[in-house]
Amino acid sequence: MTSAPHPPRPVLEVTGLTVRHGPRRRRRTVLDGVSLSVAPGETLGLIGETGSGKSTLARAVLGLVPVSAGTVVVDGEDVTGHDERRWRALRRRGVVQYVFQDPLRSLDPDLTVEESLTEPLLVRGVPRTEAAARARRFLDRVHLTTALLGRLPGELSGGQRQRVAVARALVTEPRVVILDEPVSALDSANRVRVLDILGELRADGVALVFISHDLGSVAGTADRVGVLYRGELVETGTAHAVVNRPGHVYTRLLVGSAPTLRGAPADRAERDRLRALLHA
Ligand SMILES: Nc1ncnc2c1ncn2[C@@H]1O[C@H](COP(=O)(O)OP(=O)(O)OP(=O)(O)O)[C@@H](O)[C@H]1O
């Protein structure tokens, strides 16, 4: 008798994550008991309106904001109680990487593309020739030519810059890459290109957390979608299920407001009804 294969161990496991901001008497809960997990090669889309806590969740996973309760386990390592020294060591190993909405935040304006791509490797002790070879390989991975290696970020188009930022996140061969609104600053042609590249990464076994306020960008790329609403994860499911059978009122409103997702958008009266329910 053959036993069923074990599901792969998640590379990111967040359990009951709670983040509160502000001084004690005016403390606000920004994330409230959020639990999620991402498997190798899986893309989790995280959507929510502005202020719902998406960036806070990403920052908490990266040790950039203090966690009030809950745990974060990255590649089997509980990082919740890590001090700054252990975080630095983890970041240096490049296990988790972060790509910002604005690639100029991910890239040093004074470093050439080649320097941006080799720097994370050189600090880890990778020999220069190997780092240079890897930089070329990952530039190719994001469909850019080596002719760009000598350019500064300011000498690239927005779409090229974002692809360099993705390549830089990938050179350390991370287990998890968190992309915070990676396509929202791009025009539609570049948006499609970057989304295609993210789709291709799945085959490499990299786990992606793709954060966006736009369900339309996420639904085509993500295997599963989580919906954050006012700091709570109100819904998770396959992209197909969330789009076709949204459970939470907020998700129904999101789906109803995105005409390209399911043919016709919900009519105005239906959207007004859902909005009224949300704010009741
Ligand atoms: N350091 C902080 N101190 C106090 N409040 C904060 C802090 N950082 C974020 N917040 C608040 O936490 C809430 C969630 O913010 P967050 O940036 O995570 O939202 P978001 O979903 O990423 O929004 P956006 O889509 O606009 O980037 C917001 O109300 C924000 O004002």
Q: What is the pLDDT of residues 191-232, one digit of tens each?
A: 888 888 888 887 788 999 999 988 888 888 899 999 999 999
For ligand 1, atom 31: residue with the closest CA:
51
211 contacts 178 by C-beta, under 8 angstroms: yes
**Segment 47-89, tens digit of pLDDT:** 998 889 999 999 999 888 999 999 999 989 999 989 888 988 8
Residue 188 φ/ψ, nearest 5 degrees = -65, -35
Of ligand 1's listed atoms, the one at least distance from the Cα of 65 is: 1
Q: What is the DSSP string of 242-263?
A: HHHS--SHHHHHHHHT-TTTSS
For ligand 1, atom 3: residue with the closest CA:
21
Q: What is the ipTM of this complex?
A: 0.93
- Pairwise CA distance, residues 138 & 15, whole Å: 33
* DSSP, res 100: -
- Give the strand order in the sheet containing 232-238: 96-99, 176-180, 207-212, 43-47, 224-229, 232-238
- Ligand 1 centroid–CA 235 distance in Å is 20
Residue 48 in contact with ligand 1 by CB distance below 6 A: yes
What local confidence, expressed as pLDDT, does residue 35 receive? 96
What local confidence, expressed as pLDDT, does residue 31 receive? 96
Write down the mean pLDDT value for the chain.
87
What local confidence, expressed as pLDDT, does residue 131 receive? 96
For ligand 1, atom 16: residue with the closest CA:
53
